[in-house]
A and B are shown apart, each in its own frame.
Chain A
Amino acid sequence: MDMSTLVSKITDSEVEVMRVLWEAGYELPISDIRRTLEQTSKWKTSTIKTLLRRLCDKGVVLATKKEVFYYKSLVSEAEYNEYTTQNLINRLYSGSAKKLVASLLGSKKLDDADIEELRNLFKVDDRDE
């Protein structure tokens, strides 16, 4: 899986947890994460645990077992922001923006088989002129 696929699956709540990790800049135990999140949200420890587990499952956060579990972000904030902007632009384009723009092609991707088919089809006849 490439980076964009990883990032695309992070939900808004999970981003809140990610922010704590980004802000710290180093790995944190769950007690620290909870302490920071307590100021901004009403999440219970179990909720935070679930969010962290999901992030680990998605491969965005790495958990290392020392005396307790330490969590570390594998995606930087900059990478995440880059991705969201790109995602936003593409969404807006596929939505209403496409209507007011003259583009070379449509907005949807074709798979390799389709492209191969088109390549084989497209042969301009030399005797044409």
Chain B
Amino acid sequence: MNETVKLLLSLSLSGSILAMLIFTLKPFTKHKLSKSIQYYIWIVVLLRLILPFSFETSIMNELFYGNQTPVVETSKSKVQPVVGTAQNISNSNSLPNAQENLTNVVNNAGAYHDINFHELFNQYSVYIWLLGVIIALMVNITGYAKFLKYLRQSNISATNRDKEMLVTLLNGRNNVRLVRNRFLNIPMLIGVIRPCIIIPDINFNEIQLKNILLHEIIHLKRFDILGKWLIMIATSIHWFNPLMYFIKKDINNSCELACDEAVIKNLSPSEKQDYGDTLISVVARHKYPTGILQVTMLDEKSGLKERLVAIMKHSRKSKKVIILSVILLGCLIFGALYLGAGVGTGKNTPPYIYVNAENQGAKVARMGIYSWKYNGENIEADSDDPKNFKYKLDNSISVKTGQQFVIGTQKLKKGKKYNFSIEEISEYKDGKIILQDKRVPASFVNGDLGMTASQDAGEYIYTLRLNFKDRGIVSYGFVVKVATPTYNLTEISKYKTPYVGDNSKVSAIANQLPVPDNYFKQQYISMVTEKKPYKLNVFYEAKKGASHISEWPIVDHNNATYSIMNKNALVLFCMIDNLDEVTFAFRDSQSDGKLDDSKYDTTFTFTRASIEKQYGDISVLAGKLDLLQNVLSK
């Protein structure tokens, strides 16, 4: 199941379980507990429904992620790897027993690539849910915004008497505006940041006005509008959960009851009577245009009745009840935490490792031995050494000599990222290990591991042992096919010229030189031919639609790009007799049809002297093509 779907369902289920518990207990607690506590209990449920926070050992995590009992792979008939007969990709007829004990691991990697129907459904269900959320939010927020807009048009300033009353009740603190509205029938509080009390434009008497304002001030002080937003957000997120509509109703109910309770807490019996009478008189005055009244009024009546009864029955809670309430609230918070959510931070199998190189699809490394901690369990999977695995095309990447490739837990920058450290990296060629000092050390770039292919062509098996902190150590293996850039010297030599100024021949040669990787193409050349030293500039730019995955721009010389350009320079000096200096310039973007030098951020310059120092007399190499070919393929 999709992780988002799991999280969502787990939040819904968690909240629903708590809500069912509250609904069950309600007949017993309704008149005993203070209304405020009953309201706060609901807030806990709301937060549980909205916040995806969870401990890893929570019930929901266990429920949604715990049922995947891990398959522990063992190989009883483990083959001792024998150097020399070890299989790599080129060796297609593998030993049957070696294959057998790897089947589990192969399936493991293969399963990832099967997009089955179930998965498709899960993908769509996320979008359906999201659509519902967006619609619900849009309807609510646009409705509210429109309401505010029309309300503002019909607001009139409150009378001085109203304002004085508000100031008295607020004890001088004035953080709320007060207006009257010609069309509104019910007093209300609006807004979180700039709260405003709006009362109908009716001649209330002193007592009514005081009670109305008291009620709204309590709403203000208790941040009830924030609660309303929470309810709206929770119902929008969990629109698919029918229980939400009962939860919503009950929260709104307990919000009003809690507010009434706070208002009457310190009132004398006669003041309480006045307060309740105010509620009744406002509802009695409540004039409504016809047309909206089709909906049943039973709800409204029972709601108001419940409030009036609560006011009548209100009594100070004994210490015992208060302690009990706090314990109950504590239990509920604990329950909410314990139920948790299916956040799925733990996985019972280690993550896949992907190998990425320029302009190639991501390849997946094969998993070998691992020990993995999951939900307190330690899972050990036994397997053959990755160096003996039989690798498929899916596990091998093709690069040029010295080219960079990146390994990480994300497939093309998508998916969950895990951090790891290196326990060991080994590189094998023809079954023989390559000594560490012959390799370019791997380095981390943004949590991914950047590696550099060997300077020698051939097929390499890389085995890694990676340490995922607090989770376990996993071994992986993959194949890197390293090819030398090819020079078709017979073709190139057709354009051999004594002069760098020979535009058509020079550009034909430049065009036939290998590019550092598939990401680049050669586009322009330019020359300096007025005076010595005669110079040639060869420009490379990004291909259309290609994306660069390794580090760019390149600064050091220890990379494939440099080594290929070095050989390209050699070929150019051999083919163009009076060339003194060549510069290869790169830009990580496309040109717009003309050459703009300033856009090229990486350049490599070679002089005839520096190349001769490296490869010997150029005139000798230029004369014998097979000699040159030999040098180039090294």
Contacts and interface: CB of A to CB of B under 8 A. Distances in A.
A97 B297 contact: no
Contacts of A129: 268-269
A126 B140 CA distance: 44
A73 B277 CA distance: 42
Given A105-B283, A110-B304, A90 B312 contact: no
B290 A122 contact: no
A100 interface: yes
Interface in B260-287: 268-270, 272-273, 276-277, 279-280, 282-284, 286-287
Contacts of A121: 305, 308-309
Interface stretch (A18-26, A41-49, A54-62, A111-119): A111-119
A125 B276 CA distance: 13
A114 B148 CA distance: 31
A119 B308 CA distance: 10
A11 interface: no
A17 B147 CA distance: 28
A118 B304 contact: yes
- Chain A binding surface SS class: helix
A85 B182 CA distance: 10
- Chain B binding surface SS class: helix
A94 interface: yes
B190 A89 contact: no
Q: Which of B139, B219, B283, B303 has the most CB of A within 10 A?
A: B283
Given A91-B292, A121-B305, A125-B269, A100 B185 contact: no
A118 B303 CA distance: 11
Interface string A64-91: 0000000000000000000101111111
A88 B184 CA distance: 11
Contact of B272 (A8, A89, A124): A124
A35 interface: no
A111 B311 CA distance: 22
Given A96-B139, A97-B144, A115-B283, A102 B224 contact: yes
A55 to B, nearest CB: 18
A116 to B, nearest CB: 9
A50 interface: no
B531 interface: no
A8 B291 contact: yes
Nearest to B220: A102
Contact of B300 (A8, A93, A106, A119): A106
Contact of A102 (B146, B219, B272, B282): B219
Contact of B297 (A96, A111, A118): A111
A19 B269 CA distance: 56
Interface stretch (B110-118, B228-236, B607-615): B228-236
A90 B288 contact: yes
Contacts of A85: 150, 153-154, 183
Q: Which of A95, A96, A105, A121 has the most CB of B within 10 A?
A: A105
Interface in B209-247: 212, 215-216, 219, 224-225, 228-229, 231-232
Given A90-B292, A93-B147, A99-B228, A104 B279 contact: yes
Interface string B77-89: 0000000000000
Nearest to A92: B147
B269 A124 contact: yes
Nearest to A107: B186
A119 B282 CA distance: 12
A108 B297 contact: yes
Given A88-B146, A90-B183, A103-B186, 15 more contacts: A86-B154, A92-B144, A92-B146, A93-B184, A96-B144, A97-B144, A100-B144, A100-B225, A105-B279, A108-B299, A110-B297, A114-B301, A118-B301, A122-B273, A123-B312
11 contacts: A8-B289, A89-B151, A92-B143, A104-B279, A105-B282, A108-B293, A111-B297, A119-B280, A121-B308, A121-B309, A124-B272
